[in-house]
């Protein structure tokens, strides 16, 4: 196993994550140094979700939350609404914090949709 003692003095790392789903175009770019990349509105919206997230949080679009609600793993997550998030190039969107349900909560959760809480 590698020596990880050098990490003891490092601060915790908090990342922001943004998720969206939708069609993309993918391809290889470059000639002498190639790279694989993806493009499309779905990529841009995911980037905006990340940019408007907070450290240690997962910020998802409404489209992602609805797709998750139809997924076989949906009962493992809650989608907590964020009110009036202004997204550059998109305006005000309905977005959510994605939170994993604890094991105890998950055992009592019924099969089916994750709880997508609606703001009133």
Has 118 been annotated as catalytic? no
Catalytic choice (8, 16, 33, 48): 48
Catalytic choice (88, 90, 100, 117): 88
Q: What is the 3-state secondary structure (H, E, C) of 10-56?
A: CCCCCCCEEECCCCCEEEEECCCCCEEEEECHHHHHHHHHHHCCCCC
Has 88 been annotated as catalytic? yes
What residues act catalytically? 48, 88
């Amino acid at each position: 196993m590698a020596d990880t003692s050098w990490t003891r003095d490092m601060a915790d790392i908090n990342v922001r994550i943004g998720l969206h789903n939708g069609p993309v175009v993918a391809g290889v770019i470059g000639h002498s140094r190639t790279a694989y990349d993806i493009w499309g509105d779905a990529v841009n919206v995911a980037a905006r979700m990340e940019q408007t997230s907070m450290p240690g949080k997962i910020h998802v679009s409404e489209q992602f939350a609805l797709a998750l609600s139809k997924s076989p793993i949906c009962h493992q997550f809650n989608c907590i609404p964020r009110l009036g998030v202004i997204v550059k190039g998109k305006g005000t969107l309905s977005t959510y914090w994605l939170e994993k349900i604890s094991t105890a909560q998950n055992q009592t959760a019924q099969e089916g949709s994750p709880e997508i809480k609606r703001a009133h």
